[in-house]
Every structure is written in C-alpha cells, then in structure tokens.
A and B are shown apart, each in its own frame.
Chain A
Amino acid sequence: GQQLNQSPQSMFIQEGEDVSMNCTSSSIFNTWLWYKQDPGEGPVLLIALYKAGELTSNGRLTAQFGITRKDSFLNISASIPSDVGIYFCAGPFTSNAGGTSYGKLTFGQGTILTVHP
C-alpha cells in the first residue's frame, strides 16, 4: 500500500528559529497536503498543493510539491510558541468517477514540534 515517510520525527527548537520538514513517498501523488494537529484537537489543513513544482505560502508557512511528485516540503519561518503540535503530510488516493467521489487520505507518521520560548 501507499506509505509516506515523514522526517524528522520530532524537533525541539527555540522561538524565532526556522523549521523544515519533509515527506517522501514510493508512489506518485497528484496532490500533497499538510495538516497540523494541536494537542487535544483533530488535524486541521494548513496547505494544499495541486501541481508538481508548486510553491505555496500561508503566512509563515511555505510548502512545495516536489517535481517528481513523490515528495513535499514544509517550512515554518520565525517559529512562535503556538506552532507547537504535530505536523502531518498527507496524500490522497482518489476516484471521482461517475459524479461521485471517494478518497483515502494517507498520512505520514507526523513531526512533533516543540518550541521553547
């Protein structure tokens, strides 16, 4: 089955530092997504990438869709304490045939980010 390998598994950084994490897959994806899970909450979508080579920003977050379509990167600049949480990459396996839709979203193992004030 599809597997996403996400690294690093955890990061401990000082407030103000930049953060980089990445995700690789053995399969090609047409979409890459990055989610964040705050403690005690469900994951929330941060950024969606729909085109190989695409670079997309959302505030201090920047994500890139790798040219090979088998990888993606997420960068967080000037980290702040509220950036703490688990960051997941995700790739969908979909079918939108016949006007209906189904999809399995496969998640990476997550990167646990801790930010020290």
Chain B
Amino acid sequence: DSGVTQTPKHLITATGQRVTLRCSPRSGDLSVYWYQQSLDQGLQFLIQYYNGEERAKGNILERFSAQQFPDLHSELNLSSLELGDSALYFCASSGGIFTGELFFGEGSRLTVL
C-alpha cells in the first residue's frame, strides 16, 4: 500500500461527457502528479501540483484540468471526452525536494464508449 488513494477505480462514460478523478496523497506529501497510461503511449506525465500551486506541466490536453486543494487532495477533470481518452490515470505523490521517487496510487481506469 503506497498510501496514495485514488477514486473511482473504474469509470465508464460516453463521448462528450465530463468526469472528475480524485486523489489523496500520502500523509505529509506536498506534491501531487498526474500520469496517463495508455497501451500505445506508456506513462505520460500530465501535470504536477506542489502545495496547491501548479509546478510543472506535461502533455496535458486543454480539455483536461487539475487542481490541488488546501487539504492537498487533487482532482483531475476531463471534459468533452473522446474515445482516445480511455486509459489508466495515475496519481502519485512525493515529499519536499523532488528526487524522482514517486508513490503511485492504484489508478483510475477510464473507459469512454
């Protein structure tokens, strides 16, 4: 158990819809990262938040947005969903200084039909 909690574990929705994925980091971790894992793209970095502020951005689509709340939990919002958005979405957390050691949750599997 990494200590990172993600909900929901599975989500099935239709094209054009909007969903919200939720992540609670390990106790005391200030940084939250979102990754997308699809079969053909591997693990792709989306975005990082540190203590409520956006810190680094990857290949995140404009239809996607994220935020980190004062209690440090984070949400990833995916809108105008397309079939190609079907993937595993992972949240990870880490402590203060970034060393590369991330603690990943079990992921949220999104299926867009």
A binding-site residues for B, Cβ under 8 Å: 31, 33, 40-45, 48, 88, 90-92, 94, 96, 100-110
Which chain B residues (50-107) contact chain A, with CB distance < 8 Å?
50-51, 55-56, 58, 90, 92, 94, 96-102, 104-107
Q: Which residues of B contact A100 (CB under 8 A)?
A: 50-51, 55
Tell me if B42 counts as interface (CB < 8 A to partner A).
yes
The list of the 6 closest CB pairs from A to B, nearest first, reads A42-B104, A103-B98, A102-B55, A107-B43, A101-B98, A92-B100
Interface residues of B (CB under 8 A from A): 2, 4, 31, 33, 42-43, 45, 48, 50-51, 55-56, 58, 90, 92, 94, 96-102, 104-107
Contact check: which of A42, A44, A90 meets B100 at CB < 8 Å?
A90
Residue among A44, A94, A96, A110 making CB contact with B42, cutoff 8 Å: A110
Query: Is chain A's binding surface mostly helix, strand, loop or mixed?
Result: strand
Residues on the B chain within 8 Å of A109, using CB:
42
B97 touches A42 (CB 8 A): no
B2 contact from A40, A42, A92, Cβ within 8 A:
A42
Instruction: Report yes or no: A102 in contact with B48, Cβ–Cβ below 8 A.
Output: yes
Q: Is the CB of B92 within 8 A of A92?
A: no
